[in-house]
Amino acid sequence: MRTRKGFRIKSIVNALILLTVLATLVISAFIAYGSEKQSLTRMTFQLNKVYTDKISETVNNLFRNMMQSLDVTGEYLASDLKRSDLHEQLLLFQRSQASFNSVFIIDNQGRLVEGSNINSGDIGKLITTEGTKQALSEKRPLVSEPYISATTNKLIVMVSHPLTNSKGQYVGFIGGSIRLHETNIFQTLLGSALDQSNGSYAYVVSSSGNLLYHPDDSRIGEKVVGNEVIDDIMAGNSGSKRVVNSKGLDLLASYSYIQETGWGIVAQTPTEVVLSSSRMLVMKMVLYILPALMVFMVLIYWVIGKISDPLSKLSEFASKLSPNQSEGDELPRIHSLNYEANELHKAFGRAVRHFRYQFDSLSLEAQTDPLTGLFNRRTLDRFVKSWMHQEIAFSLMVMDLDNFKQVNDTYGHDKGDEVLRYLASSLPRLLGNNAICCRFGGEEFVVLIPNEQFDDAELAAERIRKYMAETNSPTGKPVTISIGVTHFPGFATDAEQLFRLADGALYRAKRLGRNRVETASEEEYGDKTS
């Protein structure tokens, strides 16, 4: 009867070494890719933010100077709007303020008095554009939203300053226009300052979401909706975000708010640029490491060819390279006089430590809730069973955010997630390091406190409830919480009964008006155990 020869010990050990090296290479490449991506993303955000902050400061100062110049010139001309040299004075002022395409004066009835670049036939014409209406209505220094000029029929932004006569009476305003589709300050500042070779670009948006400058001229004047960066700018904020724009492009955007005008400067770089750079760096790293690994493999193959008996012990141990095996297993002892076997023995030891480190990391991920970072339900069940088995006394709190569906409906699910993380970060701080905090599911959380007197647990629950009721959540308002509290072994003898009593207390808190703490009663305990 022929017996199966099977595989040679030499082949088996070499295969395991190869797999170990490949796994190390793949994991190292994955970690290096993640690290490089994070580093390049952070650097891109920082560079874009430095750029937008600088441009924002420049534009802010520029418009402040425009306002001051209009104020000084207007004060000089307002005393006599019928002077014969009014046109020449406006021309002279425009030449000193190259940012304006034209400068003009409109009286308090909305009629054009004079201008630097206008047709003589337009003088005296009633101007009814949105910018004119806003300036006449508000009678204050302002920068208008983009609108179509009445005299040039072009898309412009107007900077204006009110005019008053010697008696302090309002007589109109002096204004300067910036034509958005022609050479202007935005093209001068943004057109060549940002490196566009990698797809990066910058744009300017008004306080109402209209594009004032964009590398694509056809988009100037377009109102952008659904862009969270622009929404944040319209709220008066600056910052950095990874966004998908209205054209479906994944971008790394940094933006700065311009205080003087209420506008925003946005600089953004395609995310794929960062990802491709990260991949290229990792590929170079792998290409540098591969020759050394190949040499290492050839050397190991030659060494194993000289070994016989020690390899059988090491190959048997190789089967333990699994996350299901006990961490207490030790490498088998081999003949200390066999140098080659000892070196391979050390190599296996390094491989085991590396694999266990990786498996420990994966195990931690399996035990925690990805949204809040707290323990998950599986880990909670393990703690409860273990403590009950060891007869450790502990209190159990089941808590549920009140009206959480309204939070999601009113503020959106992203804000709802922020509220969940807000509660999750508050629990350890309010309860101390001994508390086991878990997210049970949805908006429901469970806390275990070992060796806790039940009265102290009630006080701790009330402390959580009061904190949530009196502290503004990420929604800007407090979000209340209802809590049910019970105790082992004071109110329950097994896990099922313990959770049932806590749930009953929680539902009673909800039924009695929410935002309260209820405890399991001795009557309920007696009813459950009778």
Q: What is the pLDDT of residue 356?
A: 57
- DSSP-derived secondary structure for 434-482: T-EEEEEETTEEEEEEET--HHHHHHHHHHHHHHHHHS--TTSS---EE
Question: Above pLDDT 90, what percent of the chain?
Answer: 31
Q: Which of 36, 114, 443, 458 is catalytic?
A: 443
Which tens digit of pLDDT belongs to each residue from 62-86? 888 888 999 999 888 888 888 888 8
Q: Give burial (CB, 10 Å; 0-12/13-18/19+) of 365.
A: exposed
Which tens digit of pLDDT belongs to each residue from 269-282? 888 888 888 788 77
Share the mean pLDDT of the chain: 82
Across 103-124, average pLDDT: 89
Q: How confident is the model at residue 528 (pLDDT cuts 50, 70, 90)?
A: very low
Q: How confident is the model at residue 109 (pLDDT cuts 50, 70, 90)?
A: very high
Across 28-55, average pLDDT: 83
pLDDT above 50 (res 9): yes
* Chain centre distance of CA 400: 26
pLDDT above 70 (res 160): yes
Which tens digit of pLDDT belongs to each residue from 325-379? 545 556 666 655 556 566 666 666 666 565 555 555 555 567 888 899 899 988 9
* Chain centre distance of CA 318: 43
Q: What is the pLDDT of residue 335?
A: 57
Residue whose pair of structure tokens reads 């539902």 in the numeric block: 507
Outline where 124-214 has alpha helix (H).
130-138, 185-190
Across 88-113, average pLDDT: 89
Strand pairing category for 155-164 and 142-143: antiparallel
Select the more confidently predicted residue: 444 or 32: 444
| Stretch (H or E) spanning 343 | helix 339-367
Q: What is the homologous superfamily of the domain 184-274 according to CATH?
A: PAS domain (3.30.450.20)
Collapsing DSSP to helix, strand or coil, 24 comes out as: helix
Q: What is the pLDDT of residue 340?
A: 58
Two structure tokens written together for 455: 């009265």
Q: Give the amino acid at 467.
A: Y
Which tens digit of pLDDT belongs to each residue from 412-455? 999 999 999 999 999 999 998 889 999 988 899 999 999 778 88
Q: Cβ(90)–Cβ(105) under 8 Å?
A: yes
pLDDT above 80 (res 204): yes
Which class does domain 64-176 fall in?
alpha beta
Q: What is the pLDDT of residue 268?
A: 87
pLDDT above 60 (res 308): no
Q: Cβ(142)–Cβ(135) under 8 Å?
A: yes
For 377-529, CATH number out of 3.65.10.10, 3.30.420.40, 3.20.20.80, 3.30.70.270 equals 3.30.70.270
* CA–CA gap between residue 436 and residue 431 (Å, rounded): 9
Select the more confidently predicted residue: 394 or 289: 394
> At a CB cut-off of 8 Å and minimum separation 6, what does 235 contact?
none
| Structural domain boundaries in the chain | 9-38+282-366, 64-176, 184-274, 377-529
Q: Cβ(87)–Cβ(104) under 8 Å?
A: no
Query: Which neighbouring-strand residues pair with 145?
Result: none
User: Residue 270, preceding bond cis, omega within 30 degrees?
Assistant: no
Strand pairing category for 263-270 and 239-244: unpaired
| Residue 172 φ/ψ, nearest 5 degrees | 140, -150
Query: Which neighbouring-strand residues pair with 397?
Result: 447, 485
Which tens digit of pLDDT belongs to each residue from 41-53? 888 888 888 888 8
Q: How confident is the model at residue 530 (pLDDT cuts 50, 70, 90)?
A: very low
What pTM was computed for the model? 0.47
Which tens digit of pLDDT belongs to each residue from 460-478? 999 999 999 999 999 999 9
Which tens digit of pLDDT belongs to each residue from 214-257? 888 888 888 887 788 888 888 889 999 888 877 788 889 999 99
pLDDT above 80 (res 201): yes
Q: How confident is the model at residue 190 (pLDDT cuts 50, 70, 90)?
A: low
Compute and round to an integer the Cα radius of gyration of the chain.
36
Q: Give burial (CB, 10 Å; 0-12/13-18/19+) of 226.
A: exposed
Per the annotation, the verdict on 443 as an active-site residue is yes
Q: What is the pLDDT of residue 105?
A: 93
Domains 184-274 and 377-529 share a fold: no
Q: Cβ(268)–Cβ(48) under 8 Å?
A: yes
Distances (CA, A) of 326 to 14, 321, 323, 346: 24, 10, 8, 19
pLDDT above 80 (res 317): no
Going 59 to 65 to 67 to 73, the CA torsion angle's sign is negative
